[in-house]
Amino acid sequence: MSATAAALVLAGCASSGGSSSAAGGGGKGSSQFSILFTSEDTQTPDELKSLATGACKSEASAMPISLQQTSDAVLQEKDELLAGNNNLPFMYAADNTTIIPGGTYYKSGNVLDIASALSKAGVSNDMTALAASTLKQQFQGTSPSVPFQFNIEGIFYNKKIFAANGISVPTTFAQLLADSAKLKSAGVTPIVASGSTGWTISRWIGILLYRELGPNAMEAIQNGTAKLTDPEYVRAAQQVADMGKDGYFVNGITSLSYDSATSEFLTGKAAMMYDGTWLLANINSSANTQGSNIGFMPFPAVTGGKGSIDQYPANTGSPNVINAKLYGANGEAWLKCIAANYGSASLKDQGTFSGFAVNTPVSNLPPLTASIQQTIGTAQQSVLWFEAYFNQKANADASNDAAPLVTGQMSPQTYMSTLQADQASGGS
């Protein structure tokens, strides 16, 4: 996943009922590992092909790969056409809404629960606890997607700038604010973010809510037991607005692009940037003039809050589903081989994280990549990102209104009221 893409997403025995199944019917299942992926996804098919000639050679001999790819723009239409003819492949990319309980392909029995299948195969430990936690949050308690990709979010920081200003990694939000004030008084930009890519600002609100109210903060919005206009929710937006008022965000944030914000951070012009681990693609490139001086820390705890510093916002990449109707002994063998080997292979070949354990250590990784992989492999619980449960309109407004929030052009109350109204309207 590229840094400019910064996104999220998901992913499959016969069942004519309304639930996905981990059972394979006892037969061999499909004779082909037929795949429909988006053409935008180049990493996953390359890695699967590599496994087919290496660690999974015997599985590929019994069930050879047959790959088709289509543009993301027409994926849903392609899936619908195939499903209408009862011809969905063994593995297919799909829209999130179709594979959750109540979704079209879930109800038709075309979705395998990956966690259940791994458990049945005796290899549950090959999926990281963090990925398992994230999948269940994203997909209403189910695990319909093979976690070929995995990213966590947090604060990247410049070690050299911290040291020069006598700052250690903050463990509380209050300390982070005090450090930001210290940096600002020293003439250093504390935090860079992009106003034109407003999630780089709005995610501060979300993670504050998770730290203050606990890991169910946004689920409460989704199920209607809380509203974004409730005082404790508005307070998080107020705190981020105050950060803008106090000058902790970069000057000119409204018009700053994501690429420009990234460049400012990687050339030492700002001390911190909230982002996902897809930023490592830039950090491990020539765009980074700071070398090993870039570090990564979890968002600090809030004193007295119900959340924990070790609960990382996370996502499991684009949805890739295994078709339960085609899942049998051959498919199980492939899934076991993927679970055992994909984590190490993707890290070694492409420097990317997945939701699978790194069972074979990968040498010569950049230190920061190795450190983050260790975090992903050992952390136990994730949370979702601020907009994960938002509809399309709320997603857009959360981003578009973020810069006005931190520049004083929109009040926290108006910001959160707009999002609540979007959610209430069911805007798509």
pLDDT in tens, the chain (428 residues): 344 333 333 222 223 233 444 444 446 688 999 999 999 998 999 999 999 999 999 999 999 999 999 999 999 999 999 999 999 999 999 999 999 999 999 999 999 999 999 999 999 999 999 999 999 999 999 999 999 999 999 999 999 999 999 999 999 999 999 999 999 999 999 999 999 999 999 999 999 999 999 999 999 999 999 999 999 999 999 999 999 999 999 999 999 999 999 999 999 999 999 999 999 999 999 999 999 999 999 999 999 999 999 999 999 988 999 999 999 999 999 999 999 999 999 999 999 999 999 999 999 999 999 999 999 999 999 999 999 999 999 999 999 999 999 999 999 999 999 999 999 987 65
Q: Is 4 helix (H, G, I), strand (E, B) or coil?
A: coil
Query: Residue 130 in contact with residue 383, Cβ under 8 Å?
Result: no
What is the per-residue pLDDT for 292? 96
Q: Which long-range contacts (CB under 8 A, 24 or more apart) does 72-81 make?
A: 72/38, 72/39, 72/40, 75/38, 78/36, 79/36, 79/105
Measuring CA to CA, which residue among 170, 111, 130 is closest to residue 295? 170
What is the per-residue pLDDT for 375? 95
Q: Which tokens sit at 31? A: 């004779």
What is the rounded (10 degree) CA torsion for 368, 373, 374, 378? 150
- Classify residue 301 by its DSSP letter: B
What is the per-residue pLDDT for 34? 98
Q: What angle is formed at CA 95 by the lines to CA 91 and CA 97, rounded to 5 degrees?
A: 120
What is the per-residue pLDDT for 426? 78
What is the C-alpha to C-alpha distance for residues 186 and 207, in angstroms, rounded to an integer? 27
